[in-house]
Chains A and B, each alone.
Chain A
């Protein structure tokens, strides 16, 4: 049973436009969410995170939005750049009182075209 879901396997956007990556989760106990970017033959690189007590966190071109009632989060990248082309994983954990192991979605391949 996939507790973290990234339902779109891929997304293609034009350079300079906004990329919106979506993620849904089923376990209401998750309280910490992260986005990782992964290039082939490399480990996941941490991008941005958000605690369940917030609904938005921004870091440069990256913004993560959390809608707890809908169990949904999204990553916005604006403006998108060709170097952003990679596989993006959404991950969740039980940060408080849990093991903090990460549960990952299946990933989404983002392609930013020049």
Chain B
């Protein structure tokens, strides 16, 4: 079965550069979530989109922005990169979002490992 696709898988950037991470959800999934996992940490929620609208926002820095496009893929744009942004970035998708249907399982992509030098 098709899974969540993330690109690139690995990314090396210098401080103050920008980065764009892409996420392609499972077909027919309408909700996308972004999580950041630092070394030895649990994944932390950044932001989510349902039907191309932002549905929730977590601990996402102002330097980061994201959007969901008409084909439901999502991009996380990161500017003025800092050393502390080095982490694994996961995208997850689900069907139903905040529609109130309850309990929609999120399926995760393989992640993008970002290293900021």
Contacts and interface: CB of A to CB of B under 8 A. Distances in A.
Interface of A, helix, strand, loop or mixed by DSSP: loop
B8 interface: no
B90 A43 contact: yes
A112 B80 CA distance: 43
B108 interface: yes
Q: How large is the interface on B (under 10, 10 to 19, 20 to 34, 35 or more residues)?
A: 20 to 34
B90 A44 contact: yes
B48 A101 contact: yes
Contact of A42 (B42, B104, B106, B111): B111
A96 B92 CA distance: 19
Contacts of A34: 105-106
Interface residues of A, number: 27
B104 A100 contact: yes
Interface string A28-57: 000110101000011111100101000000
Interface of A: 31-32, 34, 36, 41-46, 49, 51, 89, 93, 95-107
Interface of B: 4, 6, 31, 33, 35, 41-45, 48, 55-56, 58, 90, 92, 94, 97-98, 100, 102-111, 113
Given A43-B92, A106-B41, 17 more contacts: A31-B102, A36-B108, A43-B108, A43-B110, A43-B111, A45-B108, A49-B105, A93-B103, A95-B103, A95-B104, A96-B100, A99-B98, A100-B104, A100-B106, A101-B58, A103-B45, A104-B42
